[in-house]
Structures are given as C-alpha cells and as structure tokens.
Structure 1
Amino acid sequence: MPSSSHDSTTKPLRIASINTNGIRAAFRKGMGDWLATRDVDILAIQEVRAATEDIEALLGPEWSILHDAASAKGRAGVAIASRKSASIHRVELGHPDFDSAGRWLEADYEVNGKIVTVVSTYVHSGEVDTPKQVEKFTFLDSMLTRLPELAAHSERVVVLGDLNVGHRKFDIKNWKGNVKRAGFLPEERAYFDKILGAEDEADYNNGAGLGWVDVGRKAAGEVDGPFTWWSWRGQAFDNDTGWRIDYQLATPALAASVVNYTVDRADAYDQRWSDHAPVVVDYNI
C-alpha cells in the first residue's frame, strides 16, 4: 500500500513518463534526485536497458515494479514503477510473430474505486527505406488495433512514453528539414491522425479519430513544443531545437481529469540525465 504522502484520496494521481536512455546511467547522472522530489505515483520508463534486479535496486523497496525486457540484451525495455501493486493485463502487442518485447507493457491500477490502465510504450525510431522502418509501421499498425480494445477495457486509459513521431509542425522545431526523415514522415503522422484526428478536423484532439486525446497538446495549445527530446550534439538543447515525441495519450474520460501538465526540462545542458525530459501529468480521479 502507498504511504500517506502518496495517498490518491488526498491528491491527484501523478503519472510520469521518461525515456531514460539506460536507467543505470540516468541514475548515475541524477535521475534519483529528480525522482525524490517529484512525488510521482506511477512512473512509466522506456529504454530501461537493464535487468529487473537493477531497477529494483535503483528505485528501492517502496516501489512495485513491472518490467518487460527486450529480446536483445541491452536494448529497449519498458517498465512501470508504482506506489501500489498492479495486475499486468497484457505485454505482447500484435501478431505473435512480431517481436514487441521491451516496447509495450500494460497495467491496471485501482484508484478511488476506479480502474486506471497505464501503458508504457517505446515505439521504434525507424530508418527510411530499411527494415527498421517496416518494423515501426508494423508496431504502429498493432497500436491502431489495440487502442480500441483498451478503450473498451477501461474508460480511463493512458498510453505514454517515447512514441518517436512528431505529429504536427508544432512538435518539431526544424520541421521543414525533417519531412523526409523517420519521426516526421507523412506516413507516420497519418497514424496519429487516426488516433487523435487530423489537424484540419474541427474536433481534432477532442473526440476525432479513435477518440484519444493528446494531453500535452491540449494543455499547451497551438504553440511550438514543449519539446521533450534534444540531441546531445551541438547546441540543440541550449537553443531548444527539440522534438516533442514523448506523449501521454488518454481516453476522453481520463483526459477530462487532467489538472496539470509539465515537461521537466533540465535547467542546463550539464544537468541533463537523459536526452529526453520527463513528462509529468496530474489526474484528478
């Protein structure tokens, strides 16, 4: 059971997502200090790149941990750490011949008598005209199949993590230079049109498409960013030349309960502990 400081009856449910780019390296650089101050109830992690025992040792006994490692050691890996235990609903995504290990993990949590389903996911980065891009499209196809099933399973679902696609021009600082690169291909963005609604639809991000809501865009409005990933190279971070590829996509019922959305961007380049920034959302369940 959670301690009183994390009692969901006295405060909103705080759900955070972070691509750690290797959780052991992230903790060496300061992730533990961030986590100690953020009062997170449920933490979705991508690119774990470690064993379950490593996660348990880093986070400590107060966290309940679910972990789906990648088939290839040292690659990908997704986890969900929570203050109270959950039941795993599903790990595999799509056809059994398709390797989604380390990229999709679902868990159900009871919050004030209601079920909240949390999915930590890490979509392939892809590479144009290579098998990596084919794998990415296969994964996105599987998501389109699974999302309606999740919405039928629970009216309060959030799919969060590194989705490796900038949906709209607002999501990439230098979008003109990336229209032919993986992450901003028209074919990739079309998947998000199907999930959230196309940009030119009157009810975009508010019931269009499959009906899911991009919590970050809803909170920020029609502005650039806020970005969640910046290259380690050059002045990308200092100039805020980033990409918004880390999302919390929620069903309408859960999205309606959002009371705060924050991207925890580091104060300076040398204070970064990942090339991604945590996305933290408070839900008043």
Structure 2
Amino acid sequence: MRIISFCADGIKQATQNGFFEWVVEQDADIICIQDLRCQEYDLTDNVFFPEGYYGYFFDSPSGVNGVAIYVRQIPKAIMTGLGFGESDMHARYIQADYDNISIGCILAPDVADGSPTAVEEKAVFFDQLAGHLNKIRNKRREFIICGNWQMAHQDIDLQSPEDNEDCSGFLPFERQWMDNLYHELGYIDAFRTINNDSDEFTWWPNGERGKNGWRVDLQVISNGMRSTVEYGAAYKSKEFSSHAPLIMDYDYELISG
C-alpha cells in the first residue's frame, strides 16, 4: 500500500506546478492533500479528479485551508472533523475507514502570525487531539494519520534548530507534545522507522530550498503498523509548493480478503 501526503499551499497553484501530472504516475493507493485554499466546487477541471480515484473533500467555510483524500478503493465510511468544537475550526481533518484500518488527513492549526491567541488555540487543539488519539488507540483497528502537523519534534528535524527555538512549531510545549505522542501514547513516526538522516526536510518556510528546512509533514501510525513500513521518501526533484510530498509504502492490504 502506497500513501502520498502533500501540503499544497493551494491546490490550484500546485496543479499548475505539475503536482497531479506527477502524482498519478506514482501508483499510490491513497493521496492525502492539505491546504487546498479553495472549495471543492471551485475545482471544475478534470485534472483535479484523476481517473481511477475517488476524491473526498472537507472544505473550510472561509476557503482558507481544506483537506482532501483520494482513494482507489471506496471506503466503508468517511469522517470529517474531530468534534472538538471551536478549536476544530482552526484545523481540518478527514478520515477514510476501511475494514481494519483508518487513514486520516490532517492540517494542524497555523500560527503564522505568532500571536498569543493563535498559539493558545493551537495548544488547545493539540490537547484535545492527544485525548482523541489516546481513545482510539484502544480500538481494534490500525491508524495512519498523514499531513502537515505544523511542528517539528527534534533538532534533527530542523536545518537550523538553534535559530528556531522561539518559533511556533518548535516551542517547548510542542516538542513535549510530540514526545508524549510517541513515548506515552505509543504512536510512531513512520518515516523515522527507516530513515534517521539529519537532512530530510519537507518544508521550507521562506520557499527557498536548502535554507531553514523543517520536517513537519508526517505519516503517524499506530503501533501495530510498525513492522509494515517498507519505504519512505520526501520527493524533492520538483517543487509543487513550499512542501515536499511524503511517499510511504506499507506491506498492508487495504481491504482484507
């Protein structure tokens, strides 16, 4: 099973940069896209609905963010939102449920302006998300949650950690949250199970590759998926947005039988 996750910075612009031309050649079973910056009804060209895929969208009322998940096999159910009330409005989440596994696509809250209010909203969202992830880990199914988590975990995940210690996305509470996710809740950073290189970044905030890279685009998996990870790579040969697509392969059958 191949899953590609990509933060588009606007799906129309990414498409003009060749994203869909590239992604349909990757033979992915699931494609998770974040930060659409438009509504589904704005996507009138066939390029946004590649042959062989079923697309599901969760728009933002303001059109600012929005997420989508494209699948080859129709899921048993699609879930939108996390039920967090007000803090849900600062993020986007869509999930496809299959027999024994759920694939989520998440765009975490952005704190680009660095305001105390925005930082607090992000903290509230992640507190609620931790509770949700703790609850679902007891379900008899596996989870893969893909997307732009808007934060990096360790120094190895930043090109210049010493210059970003006070930046949103690498604040102490955010790094502690990631510690708890992996060490207490038992989830796993799929990419790091097979690659511990210190130069693997997926986002360049200033848009210039090679400078101030961050690894914020993750596929977080439940513990039962650890042994299924076969391959992982950030595709950097061509730029579709300020983020690089993350490709992960799993030894897993999406639909049993």
Q: How does 1:1-285 map to 2 (within 5 A)?
A: 13-53=1-41, 54=43, 57=46, 58-73=48-63, 75-88=64-77, 90-100=79-89, 103-110=92-99, 115-126=100-111, 127-197=113-183, 209-221=184-196, 223-233=197-207, 236-237=208-209, 239=210, 241-266=212-237, 271-285=238-252
CA displacement, residues 178-221 of structure 1 (integer Å, 9 cap, x when unaligned): 11110100111111011012xxxxxxxxxxx1000111122212
CA displacement, residues 52-80 of structure 1 (integer Å, 9 cap, x when unaligned): 2418831234211111111212x110111
Going from structure 1 to structure 2, the CA distance change for 1:195 and 1:55 (only over 3 Å counts) comes to farther
**1:44 positional shift:** 0.8
**RMSD of the alignment, in Å?**
1.9
Stretches of structure 2 lacking an aligned partner (at least 5 in a row)? 253-257
**1:85 positional shift:** 1.1
* Alignment-mate amino acid for residue 246 of structure 1: D
1:143 and 1:195 mapped to 2: Cα distance? 10
Stretches of structure 1 lacking an aligned partner (at least 5 in a row)? 1-12, 198-208
CA displacement, residues 76-96 of structure 1 (integer Å, 9 cap, x when unaligned): 101111011113453222432
1:41 and 1:247 mapped to 2: Cα distance? 17
1:195 and 1:99 mapped to 2: Cα distance? 19
* Alignment-mate amino acid for residue 158 of structure 1: I
Q: Could you say what secondary structure the match of 2:177 adopts?
A: helix
* Alignment-mate amino acid for residue 32 of structure 2: A
Q: Would you say how many aligned residue pairs link Structure 1 and Structure 2?
A: 249
1:94 and 1:142 mapped to 2: Cα distance? 10
Q: Could you say what secondary structure the match of 2:65 adopts?
A: coil
2:116 and 2:32 mapped to 1: Cα distance? 29
> Does the CA-based 8 Å contact 2:90-2:110 persist in structure 1?
no
Q: Could you say what secondary structure the match of 1:194 adopts?
A: helix
* Alignment-mate amino acid for residue 142 of structure 2: R
